[in-house]
Amino acid sequence: MQKLGLTQTLQQKLSPQQIQFIKLLQIPTAELDSRIEEELEINPALEEGREEYDEEREYGDDEPEKDDYDDDINVEDYIRDDDISGYKMQGDGPSDEEEREIPIVSHSTLNDSLIAQLGYLRLDERQNVIGHQIIGSIDQDGYLRRELENIVNDLAFSANIMTSEEEVEEILFKIQDFDPAGIAARNLRECLLLQLERKDQALPEVQRAIIILQDHFEEFTKKHYDKIQKKMNLSDEDLKDAVTIITRLNPKPGGVSGGDLKTQYVIPDFILVNNSGKLEVSLNSRNAPELRVSQSYQEMFETYDKSSKTDKKLKEAVSFVKQKLDSARWFIDAIRQRQLTLLKTMEAIVRFQYDFFLEGDESRLKPMILKDIANEIDMDISTVSRVANSKAVQTEFGIYPLKYFFSEGIATDSGEDVSSREVKHILKTLIDAEDKRKPYSDEKLEKLLNDKGYTIARRTVAKYREQLNIPVARLRKEL
């Protein structure tokens, strides 16, 4: 026998308006123009320009009242509740694609350059197709990491060309003669050897460098120079000359032409100016677009409102016009709210890290987490996170991403907390000043930091060193 029961649950759901605001808040300034252009295209009730009431108040003075727009729009009498779909715009609702690609400027790719060079070879149609397949398999670092066997299979399935690994390798060797030197290598050793082949083979240091890579590559990568010196019976000077040649080669030849990478320009969202000791924050002007509701749509609605309310087609027209008007007004409100939130967050960060912004000294950074700023501005941590993860500020000392100023705290002997970024700065200074013939181990770095008053464990030293992209002591060793 079935039993009927009644349960009451409380759920939190984001409204379409909240989703729209979240999406607008997290996009950087570089993408805001594109987002506004999208909205202008899909909503004819939204126009570029300044509304009349904007002349009486500037952006950021106070939040726009939600009721400002409701006095002259009251059509609920003749529009059914289920006809009102709410505030809908392109991009509303959850999406797997949370982040869009930032608009950037691109240049000629590595692939384009290699295809152009392939055209200079006198290849038949079959060989040309194989060459295109090889070039298409080269990654952005300039390496051919796909196995020749797989390329043979690719050609059979995609181009209906039956070939062999030997034939593919023969054309690969031709491509490896292209610029930049080292291109289409299958591993690091081959990449470096391809570059050495273009140097003067009569020079003894070049000959020694080739032997090191061919016969002692394992020892070279681990910087076991003493073993190489002993096996090759080299003097200190001869070994140093050979190693110097190798270390000056390019391990990522694809980076010379940019590969398929694009040149990206950082557009700051905030401008910070030191005005005679007083720090002043302002938004990038691109964050404050002038938008308004279309006057023609306003007049269209007023005309419909005065007409008969029993005509079905007229009711549909009124519903459409009202939806577009509401959409435009909500979008304008969301843009203004975005400006307020950005300024509020940045001003709080400046107050917290005031000493750093005055002098640009990393050691003046204080430990600061998202919760500190969220409590300061009385907003949710997730809101602060969205601002910090995608925004940057221009200062007198350069452009910094906002997340640069957030870091955990490390205790000192005096009981004070210092920023982990300050500890990283001290750590990098110690490593930069070390004797590269005998670089400091993590244990030694731990002791040096402890001597300076920073209470830090060896595993934390290792973590910070890795975050700074600094290799272990053995790989920092130089002759």
* Residue % of the chain over a pLDDT of 70: 77
Query: In the predicted model, is pLDDT for residue 450 greater than 70?
Result: yes
Q: What is the mean pLDDT of residues 346-367?
A: 85
* Whole-number pLDDT of residue 94: 38
pTM, two decimal places: 0.48
The tokens for 4 are 């009927």
The tokens for 324 are 């577009």
User: What distance in Å separates the CA atoms of residue 72 and residue 94, rounded to the nearest whole number?
Assistant: 33
Query: In the predicted model, is pLDDT for residue 199 greater than 70?
Result: yes
More confident residue, 30 or 415: 30
* Whole-number pLDDT of residue 53: 47
Q: Which residues of 440-449 are buried (b: 16+ CB within 10 A; e: fewer)?
A: bebebbbebb
Q: How does pLDDT run across 208-249, given as a tens digit for each residue?
A: 999 999 999 988 888 888 888 888 998 888 888 888 888 888
* Whole-number pLDDT of residue 305: 63
Averaged confidence pLDDT in the chain: 77
Q: How does pLDDT run across 145-156, given as a tens digit for each residue?
A: 989 999 999 898
Query: In the predicted model, is pLDDT for residue 464 greater than 80?
Result: yes
Phi, psi of 107 (to 5 degrees): -120, -175
Domains of the chain: 14-84+264-406 (no CATH), 110-255 (no CATH), 408-479 (1.10.10.60)
Least confident of 21-35, 43-57, 110-124: 43-57
Query: In the predicted model, is pLDDT for residue 341 greater than 60?
Result: yes
pLDDT class of 332 with cuts at 50, 70, 90: confident
pLDDT class of 69 with cuts at 50, 70, 90: very low
Q: How does pLDDT run across 43-55, given as a tens digit for each residue?
A: 888 888 766 544 4
The DSSP call for residue 454 is: B
Q: What is the mean pLDDT of residues 341-345?
A: 89
User: What distance in Å separates the CA atoms of residue 134 and residue 116, rounded to the nearest whole number?
Assistant: 14
* Whole-number pLDDT of residue 172: 92
Least confident of 10-24, 107-121, 323-337, 448-462: 10-24
Q: What is the mean pLDDT of residues 8-30?
A: 70
Residue closest to 210 by CA, chosen among 198, 226, 227: 198
Helices 165-175 and 148-158 meet at what angle, rounded to 10?
A: 100
Which residue spans within 375-448 are E strands per DSSP?
A: 392-395, 398-401, 409-411, 417-419
